[in-house]
Amino acid sequence: MNDKIKQLLSELAQLKSDLYGKDFLLTWENSTDNLKSVMLVAEIMQELHRQKKPFKIFDSGLGIAIFRDNSTRTRFSYASAVNALGLALSELDEVKSQVAHGETVRETAAMISFLTEAIGIRDDMYPGEGHSYMVEVAEAVSESFREGVLAQRPTLVNLQCDLDHPTQSLADLLKLKDYFGGLENLRGKKIAMSWAYSPSYGKPLSVPQGVINLMTRFGMEVVLAHPEGYDLLPETLVSAGDFAHASGGSFRVTHDMKDAFDGADIVYPKSWAPMAVMQERTRLLRAGEKQALKDLEQACLAQNASHMDWECTEAMMALTRNGNALYEHCLPADISGVSCKQGEVAASVFERYRLHTYQEAGFKPFVIASMIFNSKIKEPAAKLSSFYKE
Amino acid sequence: MNDKIKQLLSELAQLKSDLYGKDFLLTWENSTDNLKSVMLVAEIMQELHRQKKPFKIFDSGLGIAIFRDNSTRTRFSYASAVNALGLALSELDEVKSQVAHGETVRETAAMISFLTEAIGIRDDMYPGEGHSYMVEVAEAVSESFREGVLAQRPTLVNLQCDLDHPTQSLADLLKLKDYFGGLENLRGKKIAMSWAYSPSYGKPLSVPQGVINLMTRFGMEVVLAHPEGYDLLPETLVSAGDFAHASGGSFRVTHDMKDAFDGADIVYPKSWAPMAVMQERTRLLRAGEKQALKDLEQACLAQNASHMDWECTEAMMALTRNGNALYEHCLPADISGVSCKQGEVAASVFERYRLHTYQEAGFKPFVIASMIFNSKIKEPAAKLSSFYKE
Amino acid sequence: MNDKIKQLLSELAQLKSDLYGKDFLLTWENSTDNLKSVMLVAEIMQELHRQKKPFKIFDSGLGIAIFRDNSTRTRFSYASAVNALGLALSELDEVKSQVAHGETVRETAAMISFLTEAIGIRDDMYPGEGHSYMVEVAEAVSESFREGVLAQRPTLVNLQCDLDHPTQSLADLLKLKDYFGGLENLRGKKIAMSWAYSPSYGKPLSVPQGVINLMTRFGMEVVLAHPEGYDLLPETLVSAGDFAHASGGSFRVTHDMKDAFDGADIVYPKSWAPMAVMQERTRLLRAGEKQALKDLEQACLAQNASHMDWECTEAMMALTRNGNALYEHCLPADISGVSCKQGEVAASVFERYRLHTYQEAGFKPFVIASMIFNSKIKEPAAKLSSFYKE
């Protein structure tokens, strides 16, 4: 056990977290100590992995993934996380199993959980849907556990919903912690969470909502930038403001990308759909109005196209602190001239930070494993120490 | 090890079962001691699971699932079962792999089995097909094992065929054993295995056929109820009669749901398709006659609709013993006003027994694991005892 | 540990292989000692498996499969191999994850590899594509490992590309080694790698290319036979000639199947598409010319049909040494009167060698496991010995 691990374990042991037995659905439901516990356990697990020391806590059991939207990286992060903990991945394919809302959610949740320890859910496409679905599943497994149908209660992990993307934002934050040398060094740092142009349509709001509600908790100067009409859910702006106030940081919204980038220590330029469009889209999908959906897509793409200057170019980067703010992205980025004609970021900017974004993503498997670990293990520091003795 | 486990282990040790090295395809091919052994091992495994004691018997190896029909609960039950035993699940997707009958079944069975310990198959849609397919796979792996192509012979488990659904019916029976306090208490109990109305089409016959051929072996009074024209396969009626005779129970068929429910201790109201329709459907599917298939579906739905009074309502339940017979179902049920406008069961009835049906389903992973365990382990009681020493 | 194992371990310990830390993409990139090491480790693993001795080398981690073409047997071979080594299989479904060439290959390779130990890839459909893709993935994980993004570098295994099919050809060779009692006994043996008629279209060239470039390395008399117009990639003919020269064997091409079968010790009759057709097909697929693709398919099937006499009949077999050459095939074969009206092999010939072809295929899981093992373990003989002590 090296000094870094000793330090992390000591910090972990001093936290007053209450994650034991809990799901992880939204960062803003959790105390700062809970968030720190998720991060510290993730960092220790990453170090254990580097030292080729296993950190299994299960002899057997399933880790179920429910993906209601396509995903490569989150899927593999979850697969890696449950495997490292000793669980076998099982995917619930909703097309095959014809799951629907209502009675079936409650029943299906019980049916798949008899020997299940964790359930990761991604459901991010429709405002007002994803988080509600997760709460419904959580209540269903709680009932089945309480009533003796299940011998154990599976832990739920939000792998992206309509509100938050906690495994992403905590990976983003871990990258900042690593890059700037500790959480305390983030105090006063300016981060520009900015909308950026993309030739695509219907990207969820959970990443910017998650970022502004997490970074404000650690004393950062958070600036949210987007063109008019690309607002996030109003309550997420209110909570971000509250968090900034409580932590001694700040939070404000601007409609000027340059304003946000000016003197920034970190930039996070990323496209998302206007909330109003997402809501209209949900309504049209439910109503099955195919022509109206196509019209909406065209209108939205046209609206995007009037903001093609919202790109993270070298000129924009030059505005940041010493011209070398850290660039963050949840990946995949829309890279101008590489993955699309014109997109969120200039190719030269992206290439300069490419490996940084890979490292950022590299925290995600450990964040997911940590969320499950924190829910299952009463004394995380003691348990993690024990892996060094084996 | 608690007293309950000691009692179960002692019962198990006294059985003269011959499951070692065998597949589990049909309950009616098996001695009563075999069935008891499957149930006892399943109950002990469930208790081991509650006590968080692993019961792995493999260090590695595959447990293959072949699903020729959609399934959520059986799929996850099988996934849980093979995982608990130490195997990795691998699904044979027949679309991807272009498996067909004939030469290919024999070859594919060998090709997927080089390091395979168990094969679970669900093939329930076509009368005369599912069981034959399983026998074909069984013969193929037997040949390959005998001829030295395989170092071990995978155990086959019937996860539902055209004839029987043994993992379901044994889970149903385990629920009865638990609810009434032992198999001996089932003697003389009346169970109504009844057809019920559903607005769907083409449900297989294996559940009612499995139930009437299993419950008759334990001295129960089994009444099969359905409208005229919804007959089961004739040979399954004959064998059910024989089993009832041998066990001191009874078996009869009625076309009156009330007659079946009258004084019943257990009711099992569930829809199925008329056998003649299923056979005609198979013929038309093979001939590729799409219009005739659509006509058949319409005709069948219309036929169903003339029996909408076959519903498990509160009034029907009032006819049962003390008005509170146990309600069983293999799930998902067609619940009136919940999952369909009108279906198999009234919402209030289903809700009252909902958690019971979840518990019923909860036996299934352990039944599947038990079938594999009984096939692989010569002395099940001794092996199960050893898990307590570890 | 029996004498056979002792002998194999002793041979293994004397090899000068350099597979540690390497991918396995093409047999012709590897020294003969490397090939022998893959075979010896595979044989020892097969024996360990027969003796029910596990040979896990990982506590956890993912083994990823990327299949860009349908496959049953290779898929299950890979699933078995990674499971036996202690890894969990995770499949990258390219439709779901929308992977493409370019930037995305590099990024996706990193994203799926954070806790990944092995990546098996099958990409065999387009000349000039499959091997290049594997090299691209290999370079991507090398960069990520070098730059600290990954804590370990996943080992790549070629599960069939446009050039070679090394897990198949080494399984073919292991069957010969077993059948003829050792590699040294193959010296001077004549093998006919022959085109054969099939009513299908677009079969890849990697099997014949792999076979002629592997068997020539062990002193065999290799004859490649095909109708005019069914040439393999020219460079694979050159290298086969060079290998034959170096090993003291021979290599020649004939357009007469009888010439190839005459006095042969082994025959390998198998269909493949003309290279020119494969190249034109790739061009048309890229250009999206659907009608031209259909025309090409028809032209190719017509071209095949003019060579229906290229069938491995009893009369052809009578030409071989003592009329009983060993028949090899990668499976599934197109069997006349069984899987098609007329195909690569007569039903009576295939049936006589059927179990031999199963055994041939049975080496494949161990070959794959061996490739990963050789890449991960510095001293394979010592590590394998240790499994006997446990």
Task: Tell me if A148 and B338 make a contact (CB, 8 A cut-off).
Answer: no
Place of tokens 């993934």: A65
CB C284 within 8 A of CB C292: yes
pLDDT of residue C389: 79
pLDDT at A68 exceeding the cut of 50: yes
Rounded to a whole number of angstroms, the distance from the CA of B354 to the nearest CA of chain A is 9
Task: Tell me if C362 and B103 make a contact (CB, 8 A cut-off).
Answer: no
- Mean pLDDT across C82-95: 89
- Mean pLDDT across A98-103: 46
Nearest CA in chain B to C75: B112
pLDDT of residue C40: 98
pLDDT of residue A101: 42
Taking alpha carbons only, the member of B132, B128, B150, B133 closest to residue B141 is B150
Per the model's pLDDT, the better-predicted residue between A311 and C96 turns out to be: A311
pLDDT at C103 exceeding the cut of 60: no
- Name the A residues in 262-321 with CB < 8 Å from any C CB: none
- Fold type of domain A169-362: Rossmann fold (3.40.50)
Chain B touched by A149 (CB under 8 Å): yes
**CA of residue C120 relative to chain centroid, distance:** 12
CB-nearest to C70 from B96, B144, B148 is B96
pLDDT of residue B187: 98
Task: Tell me if B89 and A92 make a contact (CB, 8 A cut-off).
Answer: no
Q: What is the pLDDT of residues A355-377, one digit of tens each?
A: 999 999 999 999 999 999 999 99
pLDDT of residue A104: 81
Chain C touched by B115 (CB under 8 Å): yes
pLDDT of residue C87: 98
pLDDT of residue B277: 86
Q: What is the pLDDT of residues B332-362, one digit of tens each?
A: 999 999 989 999 999 999 999 999 999 999 9
Could you give the CA distance from residue B198 to residue B196 in angstroms, rounded to a whole number?
Answer: 7
- Mean pLDDT across A106-117: 95
Chain C touched by A331 (CB under 8 Å): yes
- Residue C335, SS3 per DSSP: strand
Could you give the CA distance from residue C72 to residue C76 in angstroms, rounded to a whole number?
Answer: 6
Per the model's pLDDT, the better-predicted residue between A102 and B1 turns out to be: B1
Superfamily, domain A3-164+364-389 = Aspartate/ornithine carbamoyltransferase (3.40.50.1370)
CB pairs under 8 A between A and C: 81
pLDDT of residue C137: 95
pLDDT at A185 exceeding the cut of 60: yes
Chain C residues in contact with A335 by the CB 8 A cut-off are 103
pLDDT of residue B94: 66
- Mean pLDDT across C336-354: 96
pLDDT of residue C94: 66
CB A14 within 8 A of CB A381: no
Task: Tell me if C108 and A75 make a contact (CB, 8 A cut-off).
Answer: no
Average pLDDT, chain B: 94
CB-nearest to C115 from A49, A338, A358 is A49
Q: Model-level pTM?
A: 0.96
pLDDT of residue B103: 57
Task: Tell me if C83 and B98 make a contact (CB, 8 A cut-off).
Answer: no
pLDDT of residue A99: 44
pLDDT of residue A88: 98
Interface-testing mutation among B70, B77, B83, with chain A (most A C-beta atoms within 10 A): B83
Q: What is the pLDDT of residues B240-251, one digit of tens each?
A: 999 999 999 999
Rounded to a whole number of angstroms, the distance from the CA of A367 to the nearest CA of chain B is 25
- Mean pLDDT across A99-124: 85
Interface-testing mutation among A103, A117, A137, A376, with chain B (most B C-beta atoms within 10 A): A103
Q: What is the pLDDT of residues C233-276, one digit of tens each?
A: 999 999 999 999 999 999 999 999 999 999 999 999 999 998 88
Chain B residues in contact with C335 by the CB 8 A cut-off are 103
- Mean pLDDT across C344-366: 98
Amino acid C296 reads L
- Mean pLDDT across C183-194: 98
Q: Are strands C221-225 and C190-195 parallel, antiparallel or unpaired?
A: parallel
ipTM over 0.90: yes
Task: Tell me if C72 and B92 make a contact (CB, 8 A cut-off).
Answer: yes
Chain C touched by B56 (CB under 8 Å): no
CB-nearest to B62 from C46, C80, C331 is C80
Could you give the CA distance from residue C271 to residue C263 in angstroms, rounded to a whole number?
Answer: 21
pLDDT of residue C251: 98
Chains that touch C (3 or more CB pairs under 8 A): A, B
Chain A residues in contact with C104 by the CB 8 A cut-off are 332, 339
Interface-testing mutation among B60, B87, B376, with chain C (most C C-beta atoms within 10 A): B60
Nearest CA in chain C to B114: C362
Chain A residues in contact with C60 by the CB 8 A cut-off are 54, 56, 83-84, 86
Percent of residues, chain C, with pLDDT higher than 70: 97
CB pairs under 8 A between A and B: 81
Could you give the CA distance from residue B74 to residue B159 in angstroms, rounded to a whole number?
Answer: 7
Q: What is the pLDDT of residues C62-82, one digit of tens each?
A: 999 998 877 788 899 999 999
CB-nearest to A149 from B331, B335, B355 is B355
pLDDT of residue C101: 42
Q: What is the pLDDT of residues C123-182, one digit of tens each?
A: 987 888 899 999 999 999 999 999 999 999 999 999 999 999 999 999 999 999 999 999
CATH code linked to domain B3-164+363-389: 3.40.50.1370
Q: Which residues contact A123 (CB under 8 A, 6 or more apart)?
A: A66, A68, A69, A129, A130, A133, A134, A160, A161, A162
What's the token pair of residue C357?
């072809």
Residues A17, A22, A28: CA angle, nearest 5 degrees: 65
CB-nearest to B80 from A98, A108, A115 is A115
pLDDT at C98 exceeding the cut of 80: no
Q: Check whether the bond before B208 is cis (ω within 30° of 0).
A: no
Which string of DSSP letters, residue by residue, matches A201-214? Answer: ----SHHHHHHHHH
Domain ranges of chain B: 3-164+363-389, 168-362
| Tens of pLDDT, residue by residue, chain B (390 residues) | 889 999 999 999 999 999 999 999 999 999 999 999 999 999 999 999 999 999 999 999 999 999 887 778 889 999 999 999 999 999 987 654 444 444 588 999 999 999 999 999 999 878 888 999 999 999 999 999 999 999 999 999 999 999 999 999 999 999 999 999 999 999 999 999 999 999 988 889 999 999 999 999 999 999 999 999 999 999 999 999 999 999 999 999 999 999 999 999 999 999 999 888 888 888 888 888 989 989 998 999 999 999 999 999 999 999 999 999 999 999 999 999 998 999 999 999 999 999 999 999 999 999 999 999 999 999 999 999 999 975
Per the model's pLDDT, the better-predicted residue between C366 and B95 turns out to be: C366
CATH code linked to domain B168-362: 3.40.50.1370
Task: Tell me if C107 and A338 make a contact (CB, 8 A cut-off).
Answer: no
pLDDT of residue C269: 98
- Mean pLDDT across C56-65: 98
Task: Using pLDDT thresholds of 50, 70 and 90, give the confidence band for residue A189.
Answer: very high
Which string of DSSP letters, residue by residue, matches C226-294? Answer: --TT----HHHHHHHHHHHHHHT-EEEEES-HHHHHTT-SEEEEE----HHHHHHHHHHHHHT-HHHHH
Chain A residues in contact with C150 by the CB 8 A cut-off are 362
Phi, psi of B194 (to 5 degrees): -120, 140
pLDDT of residue B101: 42
Q: What is the pLDDT of residues C315-332, one digit of tens each?
A: 999 999 999 999 999 999
Task: Using pLDDT thresholds of 50, 70 and 90, give the confidence band for residue C118.
Answer: very high
Phi, psi of A63 (to 5 degrees): -115, 110
pLDDT of residue A94: 66
Rounded to a whole number of angstroms, the distance from the CA of B161 to the nearest CA of chain A is 18
Could you give the CA distance from residue A387 to residue A8 in angstroms, rounded to a whole number?
Answer: 14
Chain B touched by C335 (CB under 8 Å): yes
pLDDT at C336 exceeding the cut of 90: yes
> Do B3-164+363-389 and B168-362 show the same overall fold?
yes
pLDDT of residue B99: 44
Amino acid B68 reads R
Could you give the CA distance from residue A31 to residue A185 in angstroms, rounded to a whole number?
Answer: 20
